[in-house]
Structure 1
Amino acid sequence: MRNFRFTPTVALFQPLFWITLRAIVLLWPGLAATAALAQMPQHVQASIVAKSEAPRPGTNTRIAIRMTPETGWHGYWINPGDSGVPVEAEWHLPDGVRAGALEQPSPTLLELGGLASYVHEGAFTLLADLAIDRSVAPGTALPVKVDLTWLACSDSLCVPERTTLQLTLRAGDGAVDRSRQSLFSAAEAALPSSGRAQGRLEAADGRWSFVVSGAQGLNVGRTYLFPMEDGWFEASAKQQATRAADGTIRIEVAAPGPAPSPRFAGVISDGRQSFMLTGLKPDKAVAPVSEPATAEEATASEIPDPATGREANGSAPKATPPSTGDVPALKIALIGALLGGLLLNLMPCVFPILSLKALSLTRAGVDRRAARLEGVAYFAGSVATTLLLGAILIGARALGHDIGWSFQLQNPHIILLLMLLSLAIALNLAGLFEMTGVSVANRVMGKPGWSGAFGTGALAALVATPCSGPFMGVALGAALVLPPPAALAVFAGLGIGMALPFLLLAFVPALQRLLPKPGAWMETFRRLLAIPMLLTAIGLAWVLGRQSGVDGLSLGLLIATLGALGLWWIGHRQSRGRRAGTAALPIMAALLLAIAIDLPRPVEATPIASTGKTEPFSETRLAELQAAGQPVFVDMTADWCLVCQVNKRVAIDRPDTHAAFDKEGVVTLVGDWTNGDPAITRFLASRGRNSIPYYLFVTPSGETRELPQILTSELLIEQAASGKPS
């Protein structure tokens, strides 16, 4: 598993991957019949045995559940860490019998692709106590049944698994089967020792300090603390363990925020011995957030000093947006919009649409006039969509709303509609049904004519809006301050850039001749292009869950299922030469529900960890750090921003980047724009921007550097290393 590396695309969808797996495990009982029919082999074998098959009424008897993974596979602990699902048990017991909680041996730490998990890497035994009531008559049959669900993972695959274990006990004298004694003795020895280790929990400077006594014999160099509850600290956070002269062990770890519960419980282990820690109460709150500056203080701090040209707080003055009458600024903005639009064609949600539309020009019977007509129509659809979005943005800002590019993605209803649209396109490309309206792909690889090409261009522009890529940041920022006609020209330039490749193909026969000849391979290619569209739908589902929580995601998936069933029904009727008819009703119902259903209000963004190194963004905090001569990295991001998520995985959240930032004392300020934040929008506007990603680096001397929208770890390390320009 240590040799497995995530590509940027895989890393981007890691969070959704684990959410999906958790949902599957929770829903697995409803799929049991299907799983049984499939007879899929299980990678972790489970068995059950009782310490006594004749438990005495009024006493407890031990039950052991033995989990044996295949070589290279593992299961998860009570708290799985950053990823995974633990073993969960649902007991079915007769009257007079109660089951206690599952007790697990201590886990080991497994790190993979930036995620840290608490796992059981070999065979492990879970123990539970069955309490037999005194009222149970001797000789009574006691059938015991337990439904188990868990997640089994290997180097490159995770599989949710399920089984039902049964055994029949009979109330008796409590005699113990000696042949099983060794199994239970080994299982109990593997459990963390309770009652021997004591501890206290201290909080200071954004860190927890766990001071443990009574854990004799632990190898401090291999000691690790595993919290039984998530939220105390990140599973991947570095733990520093030291032993004092009196034998106590101190473990320090960064705290992401306030304690998630009044008392801490966990396991301290060195891989050979383990001790249970319970009831540790923090001596005080951790990582207090500094009070925001008053309005008077904030205003005063922004007044430039006439002698130095710097603001009173020591920070550099804010960037001045381009003048509304600056013609060169308009030219630069237009060039940036054109280049940015060109690059949007490489997005995973746009590339399949463009590819199939381009291949539609290779079909037999398409003359030059028809090709040009389609090129112009595609061009018109793309430009009209970006103009419409730009007009809405400009109008809303004129009315006093603090919004920016991709504003529509801050609404969960829009995310849901785009998710349904992406799913429909993916199913169409996979051949489940054929579109007869807007043309993306059908049996002749693209519906000819003005309407199909116009709709395809509009569709491509619509699904390409989640992020701004290279060259687009300055262009869209300039649109904030240019007069409305000039600003609309910038948005039109974005649509032109997107449509330009297909327009050139339509008007230049030499380029058409470079395309591969039509053939059966086109159908295979079409189905392969369904994959990036399906990944787009999955990514949008993840964003919906982040915006509306689990309830909103569940509603969205139910609506998507309804729509998919309708599309399947249409495809079934089409295969028989019949029209859609009543099969369109589920699709109409799904669209109406997506628009009218009362989705949960957008959840507040998860507070960014204030660990002393990473903090939530505020202009006040940025000014304080600048005044103190602290190097700062500003990261403006959102869950729906594809480029942001890729940058996070391949550049920002890398061990070498973290090490460089820690060495130079760089504080990262993260601004989450997922649900829209007027303060972030105003800050972006003050920097001449209205889109993300946006990255800023402030040196100890106060120099402010704008970083490119495509980051590398090397670039960030270079910025942190010195105050010299890179």
Structure 2
Amino acid sequence: MPIRELAGIKTLRIIAMFVTAIWLMAFAPAQAAPNHMRASLIAEGPAAPGGTVTLALLMQPEPGWHGYWSNPGDAGYGLTLDWTLPKGAGTGGMQFPVPQTLVIQGLMNHVYEHDYAVLVPLKLPADAVPGTLLPISVKAQWLVCTNEICVPERAELQGTVTVGSGPGDTRFEAWRAALPAPLDRAGTFAVTGNALRLALPFPASAALEAPHLFLSTEGLIDYGARQRFFRDGDTLVVEVPLAKSPAIVGKVEGVLAMGKDAGGIAFAANPGAVPSGGNEVGGEGEFSAATLGFALLGAFLGGLILNVMPCVFPILSLKALALARGNSHNARSEGLAYTAGVVLACLLLGGVMLALRAGGEQVGWAFQLQEPGVVAVLILLAVAITANFAGLYELPGLSVERGAGNSGAFGTGLLAAFVATPCTGPFMAAAMGAALVLPTWAALGVFAALGVGLALPFLLIGFVPALRRVLPKPGKWMERFRRVMAIPMGLTAAGLLWLASRLGGQVFAGVLLLLAVVLVAALWRVGREQRGGRSTLRWMAPSAAVMIAIAAAGAPRLASTSVVAEEDLLGSVPFDEAKLAEARQNKMPVFLYFTADWCLSCKVNEKVAIETSTVDAAFRIRKVIVMKGDWTRRDPKITRFLASHGAAGVPLYLWYPNGGGEPRQLPQVLTKDMLVDLVGE
């Protein structure tokens, strides 16, 4: 049974548990396979009539398997017990040791990857006869998992308790030490905005290295979100984002783990005031300077590479030629203005992505191209730039005859960055993935570094006169060059129109084509007015605003939500975590790749490497399962899976070898030989 997203709903976990158990009972062989988690029932020692003795459920998973805490997190379910006891006896609640965190395919799990004991108090009957043995039994059910598969298991455990006195089992001392220590005072909690804020009594002198908050109160917080911790004297303030649809609770209970091998404390909190401010201390938000440094460098190099994309290179070329012509008397200031526009666009896109993720949305880099309204606006922009390059009308910011000053350079930078950031290329993928787990200020620094890399060529041309002198001398050829540059921009517009058909269907694409024709006609009229020396600003700006509003808000209403699957040469199947886990359980080789129709590097890899007869023949011989995750439209499951592998966007290529083993992440630039060699390993 694969790990599935269960959305924190306890009822679904229980239903899944019993359906699976019934299925196993119905179709299992006569002799059941041994459990992957061995369970034992142990009594601490004798107890007097009416007294209490502690029982232990000792759980011992096989290497590579794990069990679950009382609140399993985003997936799984915990231990359930059905006791058979002597008349007059009774048990208390289960006491679990401090759990661990385990993130699998983007889901946060609360687990134990080692032997652990769940303690249960047992009160003996008051009329129990000293010297006798009281039989006890329990039917236990649990879920045990690896990182790829889960198996529901059960056992009926037998034991006895001696009525009387005598020495106890010394192992219980260590098992009690593993339990979280209870706080002597209750804390307070408040729900503010989209976060749960918790104030716990915690001595200022107590060490706190790598804390994590585990809530036994279910359905309240986002288990996988970043947790923040602040010290305010002898109070520890914890701030955790809420779940997408948080439960309404009157009390919050859980465990504060204080770091590896540092134990934890059990707490309860009631509604009340929570201090603000304080000094932030360790937690998931910590990162090393080296991690940030590598992310900044990767983003910078990735932005630099984006300059050769067909939708950016024409814009960069014409701006460079405008400077080379000598029409700009302030090359440095224009270079800075262009850079400011590029960096601002990258910061805005990155900031919106971080804000959406903080609000519970599963989005990644280039999320804007998953929105029909944004694609509609991009189509009109690409058509307008193509018409400008073709000489239909003049847009000063993209003219080789005259510059548009700092404002034109700034606007061109905004435009270049907006149309250049759909894909993650070499260096950039790891940087964008790191940005998802860095603190907000550091993540914004990564997006700014991306913008600096994208703007660097034009910035250098503006600041280094020698580079401008290296460029070809001005002449009539520059206007011809501009018209040639209309070809890649026109192809960009055509590609975006194709993307619109894939994203929203034929009707949506048809409406956008009609809008594009109307736009070209309007721009032709603008050109006529400009060549006649007349101003077009009075009616051009309102007309552009109306057309953009129609494209952004009106056209998407016609977009279809149905997905049309495309057949490919390799016969790939759609990405499904359950099917992936099943293939891995059967030790089948799997080539898993994530793509999107708006990702240029993805499509190049598919054309030259993946969907080729050579690779198809090699994969068929070795019976490789090819699985494709199409991220053209927003898909939270794909987004979480990408994030779990440190990627914020596509492409992502994973190879799962024959016979099991850990997946291997492949480079973002593929060749046929590289894929063929995989099956021979």
Contact 1:435 1:442 in 2 (8 A): no
2:654 corresponds to which residue?
Answer: 696
- Superposed CA deviations along residues 72-115 of structure 1, whole A, max 9, x for unmatched, are xxxxxxxxxxxxxxxxxxxxxxxxxxxxxxxxxxxxxxxxxxxx
- Superposed CA deviations along residues 474-523 of structure 1, whole A, max 9, x for unmatched, are 00000000000000000001000000111111111221111111111101
Q: Distance in 2 between matches of 1:657 and 1:519?
A: 49
Using the TM superposition, give the Cα deviation of residue 619 of structure 1 relative to its aligned residue in structure 2, in angstroms: 1.8
Q: Distance in 2 between matches of 1:408 and 1:536?
A: 16
- Unpaired runs of 5+ residues, structure 2, are 1-74, 79-103, 116-143, 152-224, 227-283
Using the TM superposition, give the Cα deviation of residue 461 of structure 1 relative to its aligned residue in structure 2, in angstroms: 0.2
State the SS of the aligned residue for 1:517.
Answer: coil
Q: Distance in 2 between matches of 1:610 and 1:448?
A: 47
State the SS of the aligned residue for 2:619.
Answer: helix
Q: Distance in 2 between matches of 1:491 and 1:564?
A: 34
1:533 equivalenced with 2:495 (yes/no) = no
1:378 corresponds to which residue?
Answer: 338
- Superposed CA deviations along residues 309-368 of structure 1, whole A, max 9, x for unmatched, are 9636399xxxx999741221111111110010000000000000011111111113544x
Count of residue pairs brought into register by the alignment: 421
1:658 equivalenced with 2:494 (yes/no) = no
Q: Distance in 2 between matches of 1:300 and 1:488?
A: 25
Q: Distance in 1 between matches of 2:508 and 2:150?
A: 45
Contact 2:570 2:616 in 1 (8 A): no
Q: Distance in 1 between matches of 2:624 and 2:320?
A: 47
1:572 equivalenced with 2:523 (yes/no) = no
Contact 1:302 1:313 in 2 (8 A): no
Q: Distance in 1 between matches of 2:568 and 2:338?
A: 48
CA-atom RMSD, angstroms?
A: 3.0
2:293 corresponds to which residue?
Answer: 331
The partner residue of 2:592 within 631, 634, 648 is 634
Q: Distance in 2 between matches of 1:720 and 1:302?
A: 36
The partner residue of 1:708 within 650, 667, 674 is 667
1:364 equivalenced with 2:326 (yes/no) = yes
Q: Distance in 2 between matches of 1:312 and 1:399?
A: 29
Do the aligned partners of residues 613 and 666 (structure 1) sit closer, same or farther apart at CA in structure 2, a change above 3 Å counting?
Answer: farther
2:440 corresponds to which residue?
Answer: 484
Contact 2:507 2:559 in 1 (8 A): no
Counterpart of 2:531, as a letter, is S
Q: Distance in 1 between matches of 2:108 and 2:467?
A: 60
- Superposed CA deviations along residues 638-691 of structure 1, whole A, max 9, x for unmatched, are 111111111111111100011111111111111111111000001111111111
The partner residue of 1:595 within 549, 552, 556 is 552
The partner residue of 1:552 within 508, 514, 518 is 508
Do the aligned partners of residues 311 and 565 (structure 1) sit closer, same or farther apart at CA in structure 2, a change above 3 Å counting?
Answer: same
- Superposed CA deviations along residues 191-236 of structure 1, whole A, max 9, x for unmatched, are xxxxxxxxxxxxxxxxxxxxxxxxxxxxxxxxxxxxxxxxxxxxxx
The partner residue of 2:314 within 352, 356, 366 is 352
1:668 corresponds to which residue?
Answer: 626
The partner residue of 2:480 within 510, 515, 524 is 524
Do the aligned partners of residues 583 and 457 (structure 1) sit closer, same or farther apart at CA in structure 2, a change above 3 Å counting?
Answer: closer
Do the aligned partners of residues 516 and 595 (structure 1) sit closer, same or farther apart at CA in structure 2, a change above 3 Å counting?
Answer: same
Using the TM superposition, give the Cα deviation of residue 600 of structure 1 relative to its aligned residue in structure 2, in angstroms: 2.3
Counterpart of 2:625, as a letter, is V
1:419 equivalenced with 2:255 (yes/no) = no
Q: Distance in 1 between matches of 2:148 and 2:366?
A: 34
Counterpart of 2:422, as a letter, is P
1:687 corresponds to which residue?
Answer: 645
Contact 2:298 2:431 in 1 (8 A): yes
Do the aligned partners of residues 361 and 612 (structure 1) sit closer, same or farther apart at CA in structure 2, a change above 3 Å counting?
Answer: closer
Q: Distance in 1 between matches of 2:437 and 2:297?
A: 17
The partner residue of 1:502 within 458, 479, 501 is 458
1:471 corresponds to which residue?
Answer: 427
Using the TM superposition, give the Cα deviation of residue 721 of structure 1 relative to its aligned residue in structure 2, in angstroms: 2.1
Q: Percent of pairs identical after alignment?
A: 46
Using the TM superposition, give the Cα deviation of residue 611 of structure 1 relative to its aligned residue in structure 2, in angstroms: 11
Q: Distance in 2 between matches of 1:653 and 1:610?
A: 7
Counterpart of 1:534, as a letter, is G
Q: Distance in 2 between matches of 1:490 and 1:300?
A: 25
Using the TM superposition, give the Cα deviation of residue 612 of structure 1 relative to its aligned residue in structure 2, in angstroms: 9.9
Counterpart of 2:641, as a letter, is F
Contact 1:350 1:464 in 2 (8 A): yes
Counterpart of 1:333, as a letter, is A
2:362 corresponds to which residue?
Answer: 402
Counterpart of 1:385, as a letter, is A
State the SS of the aligned residue for 2:364.
Answer: coil
Do the aligned partners of residues 572 and 304 (structure 1) sit closer, same or farther apart at CA in structure 2, a change above 3 Å counting?
Answer: farther
Q: Distance in 1 between matches of 2:604 and 2:424?
A: 13
- Unpaired runs of 5+ residues, structure 1, are 1-293
Contact 1:340 1:472 in 2 (8 A): yes
Do the aligned partners of residues 377 and 585 (structure 1) sit closer, same or farther apart at CA in structure 2, a change above 3 Å counting?
Answer: closer
Q: Distance in 1 between matches of 2:426 and 2:560?
A: 29
Counterpart of 2:456, as a letter, is L
1:614 corresponds to which residue?
Answer: 572
Contact 1:417 1:594 in 2 (8 A): yes
Contact 2:570 2:611 in 1 (8 A): no
Using the TM superposition, give the Cα deviation of residue 550 of structure 1 relative to its aligned residue in structure 2, in angstroms: 1.0
Contact 2:588 2:657 in 1 (8 A): yes
Do the aligned partners of residues 660 and 420 (structure 1) sit closer, same or farther apart at CA in structure 2, a change above 3 Å counting?
Answer: same
Do the aligned partners of residues 337 and 300 (structure 1) sit closer, same or farther apart at CA in structure 2, a change above 3 Å counting?
Answer: closer
- Superposed CA deviations along residues 416-438 of structure 1, whole A, max 9, x for unmatched, are 100000010011011000014xx
Q: Distance in 2 between matches of 1:571 and 1:613?
A: 50
Q: Provide TM-score, normalisation by structure 2.
A: 0.58
Contact 2:318 2:400 in 1 (8 A): no
State the SS of the aligned residue for 1:345.
Answer: helix
The partner residue of 2:398 within 394, 419, 440 is 440
Using the TM superposition, give the Cα deviation of residue 596 of structure 1 relative to its aligned residue in structure 2, in angstroms: 3.0
Counterpart of 1:627, as a letter, is Q
Q: Distance in 2 between matches of 1:397 and 1:566?
A: 39
State the SS of the aligned residue for 2:646.
Answer: coil
Written as runs of structure 1 = structure 2, the 5 A alignment for 1:19-98 is none
Contact 2:322 2:400 in 1 (8 A): no
The partner residue of 1:343 within 291, 301, 305 is 305
Q: Distance in 2 between matches of 1:593 and 1:608?
A: 30
Using the TM superposition, give the Cα deviation of residue 610 of structure 1 relative to its aligned residue in structure 2, in angstroms: 11
1:311 equivalenced with 2:311 (yes/no) = no
Q: Distance in 2 between matches of 1:610 and 1:348?
A: 26
